[in-house]
């Protein structure tokens, strides 16, 4: 059974719940959500509030949200289906300050007809921001969905546009 150490941090006027294991970051919660969101992703996990286990991950998230970090350097501890893992890997290839769309991602993983399934896999991404699902738009350029809500997605895209060093 997976043990997840978590803690809630206040960053940029929002609370973020981060969950980590001994192997790496396992969860980044949506704005101002509590432990229920973590439990939805990991219903069988043993959860322990532990600031010391989580603080090093919070530091990089805070730097990102302040505009001084574009990439994360810590290990992740996520697992999904083979398809989900392929989608999440492709999300990590979207550069800071840029966007992609569901259709492009489906093509990139050699599943061009799986556009809806790509959307579903993106919705199952347990590490918001770090695996940048906020960078995925619809084919027409609309924001589409986002676990953290459209307001959070827009704020993350605006942040990256503001601080993009291209």
DSSP state of 137: E
Catalytic residue among 133, 136, 156, 159, which? 133
Helix (H) or strand (E) holding 87: helix 82-92
User: Does residue 150 contact residue 143 with C-beta atoms inside 8 Å?
Assistant: yes
CA distances from 142 to 38, 116, 139, 150 (A): 28, 15, 7, 10
Q: Where are the beta strands (DSSP E) in the chain?
A: 3-11, 14-20, 25-28, 46-49, 100-101, 136-137
Is 133 catalytic? The answer is yes
Query: Judging by DSSP bridges, how do beta strands 100-101 and 136-137 pair with one another?
Result: parallel
Q: Which residues are catalytic?
A: 133
């Amino acid at each position: 059974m997976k043990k997840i150490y978590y803690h809630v941090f206040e960053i940029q006027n929002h609370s973020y719940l981060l969950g980590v294991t001994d192997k790496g970051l396992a969860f980044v919660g949506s704005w101002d959500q509590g432990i229920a969101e973590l439990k939805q992703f990991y219903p069988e996990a043993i959860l322990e509030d532990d600031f010391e286990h989580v603080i090093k991950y919070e530091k990089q998230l805070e730097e990102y949200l302040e505009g001084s970090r574009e990439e994360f350097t810590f290990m992740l501890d996520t697992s999904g289906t083979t398809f989900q893992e392929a989608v999440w890997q492709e999300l990590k290839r979207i550069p800071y300050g840029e966007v992609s769309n569901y259709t492009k991602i489906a093509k990139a993983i050699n599943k061009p007809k799986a556009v809806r399934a790509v959307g579903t896999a993106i919705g199952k991404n347990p590490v918001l921001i770090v695996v940048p699902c906020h960078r995925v738009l619809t084919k027409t350029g609309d924001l589409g969905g986002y676990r953290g809500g459209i307001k959070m997605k827009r704020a993350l895209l605006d942040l990256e546009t503001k601080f993009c060093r291209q």
